[in-house]
Structure formats: C-alpha cells, structure tokens
C-alpha cells in the first residue's frame, strides 16, 4: 500500500514539472512578441550597388526584326515537264558543275519513236515538195511560151504551195519533238554547285516536280519574311544588320527586293538583302536575324510595346525575369513573358509596365528581397 502511494506522488511531481515548463515557454514567447523589435538582432546583408533603368513604352520602335535564311543570288530548281523513269543521275549533292553539263537523263523511248516519225514525215513531204516544184517550174516556162493555159498554171501553183506548206509543217513537228529532248536530258543552266537532290536513278519523274537544286558561285543574299504591319516601313536601299545565328557575327546588308504580294507566303512579305561583304563564316542555308532601322512616325499612335536589354534578363530553366527595384531600394525578382528580339534588346509581352525600374547591372549577387544602392 505504501508503494502505490509513492508512485502516485512521483507521477504528480512529473506532471507539475511539465505544466510549469509549458507555462514558462508561453510566458517567454509572449514576452518576445510583445517586446520592442529593436531588441531582436537579425543578421543583415550589405547592400549591393546596382545600375537601374526605367521602363519606357516604345512609341514607334526604332527598328524591325525579322528572321530568314541566306541563299545564293543564282539559284535554280531543276525540274522537267515530261513523265518518265530516271535512267541516270549524273551528279550528287555538293558536286560542282559547269554550264551545259548533263545532270539527269529521263527515259525517252517514246520521244525517239516520235522523232523517227517526224523524220519520215519530212522525207515524204520533201519528196512531194520537190515534185511539185519541178511541175511548177515546167508549167511556168510553158505558160510563157503560151503552151499551157492559165488554169493549168494555177492548178500546178496551188499544188506547189500545198507541198511547201506540208514540208514546213513536218519540219515544225520535228522541232517540237527535238525540244522535248531538252526535258529528257536536263543540263546545268550556269556554273555552280549541286546543293540538293530529290531523286535517284529508277524513280519516276513527274512534270513540275523538283529533281535537284543548283546554286551559283555568286554573292549570297538574305531572304526574310516581314509581317503586313511592318512591310510599308521598309524601303528599297535600306541598310540593315544581318546577324548570323550560328556565330552571332553581324554583316551589313542592303534591301534589294521587296515583294508586293503575300499570296503563297502565308501572309508574309518576302524581302531580299544583298550582303555588303562576303564572309567565310556565311554559308547558304544559314539562319539569320535581320534588324531594319526605321524612322519614327510622328502621326502614329503610341505603342504599348516594352523593350529591355537582353543582358538584364535572368534565366532559370524555362523562366525569364528581371530584378525590379522598389521605392525602399529592395530588389524583387519579377518573372516575364518575352516576345521578339530586336538586336540587343527584347520585347516584354507581360510582366513590366512603363515607369518601373529594373536592374541592368549589379556589383554583387542579388536575391529576392536584397537591399540595393543605386549607382
């Protein structure tokens, strides 16, 4: 009985200690919360010196950006207007060719048969013509000697003219057949390089279908697509910067052609630019980004487009953003949705508004909520 009393006494003592500890913790917590905040010491990071810019909405951008490719000024897509099996492909991709060199041969058995028929027709027409000519010359002489009547001379003259017309028709038919041979044996239209082949020996050639592509050794040109909202701002002779996407090298160029129709190009207008200088790093088929400088239009309505330097953008995976600066000089990371690139600048579709300040450069590492000082 005494043992049970001692155990109950110990349990009560332990319970009292737990309750006392809980009360003490609560008192300390309430004291800390109600106390002066100045008494709490928080580790502070030094402020980072930054350079900021203020967002300005571009009323009429000073430039237009467009993407495209480089291609040779001399470019030909070789095709045929006849149908037949390809008997021989004489060239391969990357091979240099000379003007008039045979490129592709298409089966032309039917053409050779037609040529034989045309030759036979010419021989027949030639024989009839020769006979009619002799009769015409003989009756002309007899008529002068008054040994033949006018009616006889008229009949012979008509036969002679018909024989001559038949001979000319036979020759024209042969010329037509011979012209078809040009589409059975395709030759190079100029000196150049085979850049692409679409067929091989044994395949069927169809009328109008491309067989291969040849590019001349002339100068390169940039071909880009411009939207209908920007095409009227570009003029012939306008200088532009052509940036190679593979090497970031910039080449000067000048507008040489502007398409006046977007039919067949998905609503985009094609613009061609000649390169001012030939670069070894520039090859046909490379992707380029062209920057067209344009004049501001004083009568145009203000644009809401926001443009910032690409160097100010912070990228984390698929996310892009900038550090904005509050009135208390606190850096806050703002995620953005970006648009088109304009040289060293990029369009901000959403996330920034005109008048906001954002960090361009920083002398230290920034984080969300860090203090900054303006340079």
Please tell me the pTM assigned to this model.
0.50
pLDDT at position 252 over 60: yes
For 37, residues 6+ apart whose C-beta sits below 8 A from its C-beta are: none
The SS3 assignment for 87 reads strand
Question: CATH assignment of 49-62+301-374, given 2.120.10.30, 2.40.10.340, 3.40.50.720, 2.40.420.20?
Answer: 2.40.420.20
The pLDDT of residue 24: 43
The pLDDT of residue 9: 52
The pLDDT of residue 101: 93
The pLDDT of residue 294: 74
The pLDDT of residue 130: 95
Return the domain boundaries, the chain: 2-39, 49-62+301-374, 64-73+218-293, 75-187
The pLDDT of residue 73: 81
Residue 374 contacts residue 53 (beta carbons within 8 Å): no
In percent, how much of the chain has pLDDT > 70? Answer: 81
Q: What is the CA radius of gyration of the chain?
A: 43
181 vs 130, residue with greater confidence = 130
Highest mean pLDDT among 12-16, 40-44, 101-105, 351-355: 101-105
Residue 346 contacts residue 307 (beta carbons within 8 Å): yes
Alpha carbon distance 271, 83 (integer Å): 35
Closest CA to 166 of 199, 122, 207, 210: 122
* Token pair for 305: 């487009």
pLDDT tier, 10 (very low <50, low <70, confident <90, very high otherwise): low
Average of pLDDT values for 124-149?
A: 92
The pLDDT of residue 343: 67
pLDDT tier, 36 (very low <50, low <70, confident <90, very high otherwise): very low
For 249, left (φ over 0), alpha (ψ -120 to 50), or beta? beta
Alpha carbon distance 270, 97 (integer Å): 29
Closest CA to 168 of 113, 117, 115, 121: 121
Q: Phi, psi (5° rounding) for residue 67?
A: -110, 150
Closest CA to 69 of 229, 216, 246: 246
Longest CA–CA separation in the chain, Å: 177
Write out pLDDT tens, residues 292-333: 887 655 444 444 567 888 889 999 888 999 999 988 889 999
Average of pLDDT values for 161-175?
A: 94
43 vs 335, residue with greater confidence = 335
pLDDT tier, 61 (very low <50, low <70, confident <90, very high otherwise): low
Helix axes 150-180, 109-144, angle to 10 degrees: 160
pLDDT at position 136 over 50: yes
The SS3 assignment for 166 reads helix
Lowest mean pLDDT: which of 61-75, 208-222, 223-237, 284-298?
284-298
**DSSP string over 234-274:** --TT-EEEEEETTT--EEEEEEEEE-S--TTTTT-EEEEEE
pLDDT at position 278 over 80: no
For 298, residues 6+ apart whose C-beta sits below 8 A from its C-beta are: none
The pLDDT of residue 168: 95
Question: CATH assignment of 64-73+218-293, given 2.40.30.30, 1.10.1060.10, 3.40.47.10, 2.40.30.170?
Answer: 2.40.30.170
The pLDDT of residue 13: 55
Average of pLDDT values for 218-238?
A: 85
The pLDDT of residue 169: 95
pLDDT tier, 12 (very low <50, low <70, confident <90, very high otherwise): very low
For 165, left (φ over 0), alpha (ψ -120 to 50), or beta? alpha
Under DSSP, the state recorded for 364 is S
């Amino acid at each position: 009985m005494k043992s049970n009393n001692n155990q109950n006494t110990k349990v009560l003592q332990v319970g009292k200690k737990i309750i006392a500890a809980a009360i003490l913790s609560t008192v300390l917590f309430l004291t800390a919360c109600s106390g002066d905040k100045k008494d709490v010491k928080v580790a502070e990071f030094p402020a980072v010196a930054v350079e900021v810019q203020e967002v300005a909405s571009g009323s009429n951008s000073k430039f237009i950006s467009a993407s495209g490719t480089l291609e040779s000024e001399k470019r030909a897509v070789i095709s045929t207007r006849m149908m037949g099996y390809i008997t021989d492909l004489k060239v391969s991709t990357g091979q240099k060719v000379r003007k008039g060199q045979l490129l592709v041969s298409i089966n032309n058995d039917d053409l050779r048969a037609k040529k034989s028929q045309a030759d036979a027709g010419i021989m027949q027409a030639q024989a009839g013509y020769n006979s009619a000519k002799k009769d015409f010359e003989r009756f002309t002489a007899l008529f002068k000697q008054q040994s033949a009547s006018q009616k006889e001379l008229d009949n012979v003259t008509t036969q002679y003219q018909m024989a001559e017309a038949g001979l000319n028709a036979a020759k024209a038919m042969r010329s037509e057949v011979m012209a078809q041979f040009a589409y059975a044996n395709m030759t190079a239209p100029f000196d150049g390089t085979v850049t692409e082949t679409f067929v091989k020996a044994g395949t069927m050639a169809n009328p109008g279908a491309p067989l291969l592509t040849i590019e001349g050794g002339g100068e390169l040109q940039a071909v880009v697509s411009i939207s209908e909202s920007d095409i009227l701002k570009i003029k012939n002779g306008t200088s532009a910067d052509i940036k190679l996407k593979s090497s970031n090298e910039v080449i000067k160029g000048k507008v040489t052609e502007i398409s006046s129709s977007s039919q067949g190009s998905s609503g985009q207008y094609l613009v061609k630019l000649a390169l001012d200088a030939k670069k070894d790093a520039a090859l046909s088929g490379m992707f380029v980004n062209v920057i067209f400088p344009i004049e501001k239009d004083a009568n145009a309505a203000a644009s809401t487009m926001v443009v910032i330097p690409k160097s100010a953008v912070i990228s984390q995976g698929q996310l892009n953003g900038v550090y904005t600066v509050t009135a208390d000089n606190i850096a806050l990371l703002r995620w953005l949705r970006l648009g088109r690139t304009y040289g060293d600048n990029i369009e901000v579709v959403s996330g920034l508004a005109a008048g906001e300040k954002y960090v361009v450069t920083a002398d230290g590492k920034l984080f969300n909520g860090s203090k900054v000082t303006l340079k």
